[in-house]
Structure 1
Amino acid sequence: MAKQDRAIRTRRTILEAAAVVFDERGYEAATITEILSRAEVTKGALYFHFASKEELAHAVIDAQLVEAPRLPEPPVTSRMQQLVDLGLVFAHRMVDEPLLRGSVRLTLEQGSANLNRSGPFQGWTRLHVRVLAEGKERGEVLPHVVPADTAELIVGAYAGVSTMSQAVTGRADLERRAIALYEHIMPSIAVPSVLARLDMAPGRGARALAEAERLCATGAAGPPPAFAPVAVG
């Protein structure tokens, strides 16, 4: 068991080190040597877990969904608040989670055709479709909204906002840009009574994540769809 735990920790160390290097340098410029130096592991240890730089990059990309918090939701929270929280919690996590930042950099950058970057787009789109469909069933969504079309629009627009934030400020203003996106798009999605109650203020991502963690710890939460898709690809 101790040997297995050590292998899990080593794999995690390599994954996080690779994410930092990919985030700083991009896929093409990143080298296995630099990742080894950052992780402080041997080449043999790295290749035991990952057969190539490409395989390692795919593991980092997949972590965007696999590592997203699967937290319970408050039983009375509106689905449209959850929709907003998807993006604002994501922006908050980008500040402190190098693995997420590395995954986003690989997902959004243009470059090697060998990398399949579709998984996060598909996963987040599926989650948005589900939340929108549930919101429509509960009467929170305007009649004209088509969940699949709207989900693709939101995920695509958020990717553009994230790319611009990275290029202009190194993601320092991602929360502000995400808030602006939702302030513009939610009036065309949510019914007025729901729209008036949405919390899109600065710091909402941190508050939503903290509240979900509190509910998870106390067992006071409702059923478990929350901030993460459950499958990659």
Structure 2
Amino acid sequence: MTKQDRAVRTRLALIRSAAGQFEARGYVQASLAEISAGAGVSSGALHFHFANKAAVAEAVEHAAARALRRAAARGRDGDGCALQRLVDVTHQVARLLCADSVVRAGLRLNAEAAAGRVRDLRREWRECVDDLLAEAERQGELAAGVPPHRTGAVVLAATTGIEVLAREDHGWLARPSLTDLWQLLLPSLAAPHLAGALDPAGTRPGHVDADHAETGLSLANTL
């Protein structure tokens, strides 16, 4: 292993450890000593990579943002029924949150603006939802009288609520929770010709991609 690879691996270990601390204790209570200890490195090694706690939190937030944006992009930029892709991307993001402590911690830091936002990730999620609903309207997938913008607000509120509740109980991120949500919403959203054609449980495989699992980080995207 090269010196550069070792440095990158140390940085990744610090980000993972920091995410665990931020998720469990919050930004204020997390300490640099505990972060370095959790990563198995000295405090000097931590300060080689990060000037202070805010810099560590910013790195966690950046890593989470990358993973969430990739998940959202796969739904927004795909082919086929836009409403089904909206259902699928909510399940994908939920699986990512369930599997990845860095994503959970980064989203919480972003919402609390603890380290100065990379960008408002909730706004980005709203944009993803709105884009897919606008596409669904163009393709004639929405029932008559369904306003895409107001519908987007409902989806945003429901999915954000699930994410907040999941901070105490990850069961909220399980597939049945989102399936129940979509079973309630789809009959009122979808055009009649789509009745029975949409799967509220999602059509994508029930796993998180390997490059997203446990941090969504890799040597390549950290260099």
TM range, smaller chain: 0.7 to 0.9
How far is 1:118 from its partner? 5.8
* CA–CA separation in structure 2 for the residues paired with 1:148 and 1:44: 50
Counterparts of 1:73-222 in structure 2, within 5 Å, are: 77-108=80-111, 115-116=116-117, 119-167=120-168, 170-175=169-174, 176-201=176-201, 204=202, 207=205
When normalised by structure 1's length, the TM-score is: 0.73
Return the alpha-carbon distance in structure 2 between the equivalents of residues 192 and 106 of structure 1.
Answer: 41
- Give the counterpart letter for 2:12 in structure 1: R
> 1:63 and 1:31, CA in 2 relative to 1: closer, same or farther beyond 3 A?
same
8 Å contact kept, 1:106–1:117 = no
Distance in 1, Cα, partners of 2:114 & 2:94: 27
Name 2:55's counterpart in structure 1. 55
Task: Give the superposition deviation at 1:39.
Answer: 1.0
**DSSP-derived class of the 2:142 partner:** coil
User: 2: CA distance between counterparts of 1:41 and 1:189?
Assistant: 52
The question of whether the paired residues in 1 share the 8 Å contact of 2:163 and 2:172 is answered with: no
Deviations 1:51-72 (A, max 9, x none): 2212322332333330234575
- CA RMSD for the aligned pairs? 3.1
What TM-score, normalized to structure 2? 0.75
**Structure 1 residue 96: deviation in Å?**
2.2
User: Percent identity of the aligned residues?
Assistant: 30
Determine whether 1:19 maps to 2:19.
Answer: yes
Gaps of 5+ in 1: 214-233
Alignment deviations for residues 17-42 of structure 1 (CA, whole Å, 9 cap, x no partner): 11111111122221111111111123
Query: Across the two proteins, how many residue pairs are aligned to each other?
Result: 206
Q: CA deviation at 1:116?
A: 3.5
Q: How far apart, CA to CA, are the structure 1 residues paired with 2:115 and 2:14?
A: 21
Q: Which amino acid aligns with 2:182?
A: Y
Following superposition, the deviation at residue 157 of structure 1 comes to 2.1
Unmatched segments (≥5 aa) in structure 2? 211-223
